[in-house]
Structure 1
């Protein structure tokens, strides 16, 4: 037993020793090579028709092998990989995605989609407004709950199959869902990105939300207009038509699940706990309503089995991704990049651009807004203090950039969820390339903050830091 304990202690010492000092062939550029290969491979693979979570996992696996080959100390590389798998955020994502998969299948297999189509047909609603409706609903949920992933989980299982059934542009609807999710994630006072950006900049959350509101409303308003315009351009003008006999109207009661999500998260319950309760309530509901028999519910192809197995490709990808990201941490690649950027700052404008660039690069590398904000927050605050830039200004640039980048990433959580919920209802060559052009809100956030930094509009200085 003592021998085993000594070996474990030695392994922990190795991880600590390698933290920030692990060496790779290729010098300072070496640790970035696996990340570049991963991103380039995903883009190329998608262009040639090889998208999908399993393909993403294969490409990331290849990138991880490249990282191993580039590592000078092959024994230490194993401990670096293990350190990536020990990231607390990874375990949260795994459980959340599994629960989201089950909820998505419960909504889909209950017959809710056909019931919604029937209702929309009775209202004589034009298909052209489906993207706009998806954006508004997701924006309301995300602003109420403060979570982009939870909003996509609540809306995508309903809207994506609905769009496919009605012949609407699924990529446009996915873009609308992501745009609405990012809207609330960026603005909501209870959002983890809002709280993280405020706290790391030593600012009050209420002040941050108040000063951020103009940017969010402009980006959201322009996005809403574009979703209407593109919806009208891509629609034949037909209204939704469906026979009443194919719709089980009892399944409309399943709409209680998205509403329950909003209520629970407003009460302070986290995403995982919320999804567990929603899945439990959903399972009971489909049995009581007779939408899904007990045998089907527990079958391999039922909502629980299909929901869990349907997320396997994504989970494999995420497991590999966190190992890739740990290479950047262990090698000190992140720190070197940030220090180099800080040396280039000469004015308030250059300081803000440096903060925006640092956040954009970190978000792209981390695949999400929250870890990037937590990582870059202290660095952005350091730059802001050196130029007496007001606290909320730094928080808004930090959050707006992180949310903007995460909404257009091919491997961002919102994009991955939409791609997963679209499987089986769209052609196999459907990929993020079909969605990214319509992630309007993220694009507008990036453009607005870039223009604000360039012109100085909205820049205020904190005299107390002088």
Structure 2
């Protein structure tokens, strides 16, 4: 009995010298380190490790209770979401290596040359393809995994600008993450605000169209200024047989669009890919597993594929530990309490929602979990000023699926680099780093600007009728008295009402 009571007792909060705002100092140390790496041209995922470890150590020095600080780090690392992400990334690394060895990229290059399209337009084409994939699957991570190891090598080997291509892949991945009805962020944005998926999707199209048009204009400008592109000369004979491997990513997309888990889809896709590659003579046993007894080393598709994702995986483990310190220090509660004091008008309320959502996503780089944590706060604050549920959901969703697309330490940026970073000649393209690519994720940048404009000007703002407001008041508070915009503390694990809908997808 005593044991059960002990389990229910709240854990002691993590306290830093200087108060709650000091919880941000470790993140600031990490960010400054990554920024320095970007300026020096060495912003690789593995190079991020010392920077984030330095931030973690600074946090240890600032913590009043070192034991609680370490416990918070471990709590962050032991999250279920991290386990799913790591499993999926390692399987994705295997799939990417399999497709490369089996010659899919060669086959696609052959097809592109046969069509005679100028390489200058390739980034725009990539953005459209990536957008279609994400609209079909509803997941940014799934799109990045399916598109990065295929589309990027084709464009780069044909002479395309690598930062434009990878920026197009990332931007397109977030189109569907924000718009697709089956997206986990769409589901959370609707249910957390007490409205329907149909209403949030229909009402957010206006914002996506503006951001999309701005993005297409940007790519068109780059295409026209680049001219017809350089003449591509390939010394090796291209083998179109590798095109048969396109079945593998297509199978993955079909499985995800039908609601299969990303990990399950990757397992099926890898097995089917190995069978097809063997059947067409594209790989041999030694391609899968190669053991050098003399050097005591092992390699091959599986080992090399897993190792290609180690850089982003280790960084993410450390980052989740740092996020654990925010949770244990109740930083989000403090932030919501302070920000709600500023929101005294509908305009200020929306600006607060946008800025808080952008800021917290910049800390966590995890869109869906952040939306779950902020959902109740956004609903209560918006309700206070009669802002409609779909408008609140759109502000929450658009901000959560945009800023993480161009932060250099976000997994949305690090995943593509884990796949293709090693194939780019850094002497020719010194800005091809997670920091250097940030200004070229046009869609995500445009969406942030659109939402800021919308909040400051009132574009798209809707208000509830008195009757609708009264009904929602009862839904939120139980009666029309005792208003409060401060929500009960909610963690991802405690938000069980979302679990059945969100568990289908993994997103950033």
TM-score calculated relative to the size of structure 2 = 0.86
Secondary structure of the structure 2 residue equivalent to 1:424: helix
Question: Which residue in 2 is equivalent to 1:364?
Answer: 362
Question: Which residue in 1 is equivalent to 2:217?
Answer: 225
For 2:148, which of 156, 159, 165 is the aligned residue?
156
Question: Which residue in 1 is equivalent to 2:418?
Answer: 420
1:73-222 to 2 correspondence within 5 Å? Answer: 73-222=65-214
Secondary structure of the structure 2 residue equivalent to 1:435: helix
Q: How far apart in 2 are the matches of 1:339 and 1:190?
A: 32
Question: Which residue in 2 is equivalent to 1:433?
Answer: 435
1:315-394 to 2 correspondence within 5 Å? Answer: 315-394=313-392
Root mean square deviation, CA, Å: 2.0
Once structures 1 and 2 are overlaid, which stretch shifts more, 356-365 or 254-263?
254-263
1:225-244 to 2 correspondence within 5 Å? Answer: 225-238=217-230, 240-242=232-234
Question: Which residue in 2 is equivalent to 1:450?
Answer: 452
CA contact (8 A) 1:118 1:241 kept: no
CA contact (8 A) 2:106 2:242 kept: no
For 1:281, which of 269, 272, 283 is the aligned residue?
272
For 2:248, which of 247, 257, 266 is the aligned residue?
257
CA contact (8 A) 2:110 2:239 kept: no
Point out where structure 2 has 5 or more consecutive residues left out of the alignment: 291-297, 471-508
Q: How far apart in 2 are the matches of 1:51 and 1:35?
A: 17
Cα shift readout 1:5-64 (whole Å, capped 9, x = no counterpart): x9x998x789x422xx21112222221110111111111112112211111122111111
CA contact (8 A) 1:286 1:292 kept: yes
Question: Which residue in 2 is equivalent to 1:3?
Answer: none
Q: Does 1:72 align with 2:64?
A: yes
Secondary structure of the structure 1 residue equivalent to 2:194: coil
Q: How far apart in 2 are the matches of 1:438 and 1:235?
A: 19
Cα shift readout 1:69-102 (whole Å, capped 9, x = no counterpart): 2111112222111111121111111111111111
Q: How far apart in 2 are the matches of 1:418 and 1:217?
A: 25
CA contact (8 A) 2:102 2:277 kept: yes
Secondary structure of the structure 1 residue equivalent to 2:401: helix
Q: How far apart in 2 are the matches of 1:65 and 1:46?
A: 22
Secondary structure of the structure 2 residue equivalent to 1:269: coil
Point out where structure 1 has 5 or more consecutive residues left out of the alignment: 1-5
Deviation of residue 407 (structure 1)?
Answer: 1.1
CA contact (8 A) 1:110 1:292 kept: yes
Q: How far apart in 1 are the matches of 2:150 and 2:223?
A: 18
* Number of aligned residues: 456
Q: Does 1:397 align with 2:395?
A: yes
CA contact (8 A) 1:135 1:176 kept: yes
In proportion to residue count, which structure has more helix? 1
> Structure 1 residues 9 and 79, CA, compared in 2 at 3 Å: closer, same or farther?
farther
Deviation of residue 119 (structure 1)?
Answer: 1.5
Secondary structure of the structure 2 residue equivalent to 1:458: coil
Secondary structure of the structure 1 residue equivalent to 2:387: coil
Once structures 1 and 2 are overlaid, which stretch shifts more, 432-441 or 310-319?
432-441
Deviation of residue 166 (structure 1)?
Answer: 1.8
CA contact (8 A) 2:316 2:411 kept: no
Deviation of residue 380 (structure 1)?
Answer: 0.6
Secondary structure of the structure 1 residue equivalent to 2:423: coil
> Structure 1 residues 232 and 286, CA, compared in 2 at 3 Å: closer, same or farther?
farther
Question: Which residue in 2 is equivalent to 1:314?
Answer: 312
Secondary structure of the structure 2 residue equivalent to 1:17: coil
> Structure 1 residues 143 and 225, CA, compared in 2 at 3 Å: closer, same or farther?
same
Q: Does 1:465 align with 2:457?
A: no
Q: How far apart in 2 are the matches of 1:252 and 1:134?
A: 18
For 1:31, which of 16, 19, 23 is the aligned residue?
23
Once structures 1 and 2 are overlaid, which stretch shifts more, 184-193 or 113-122?
113-122
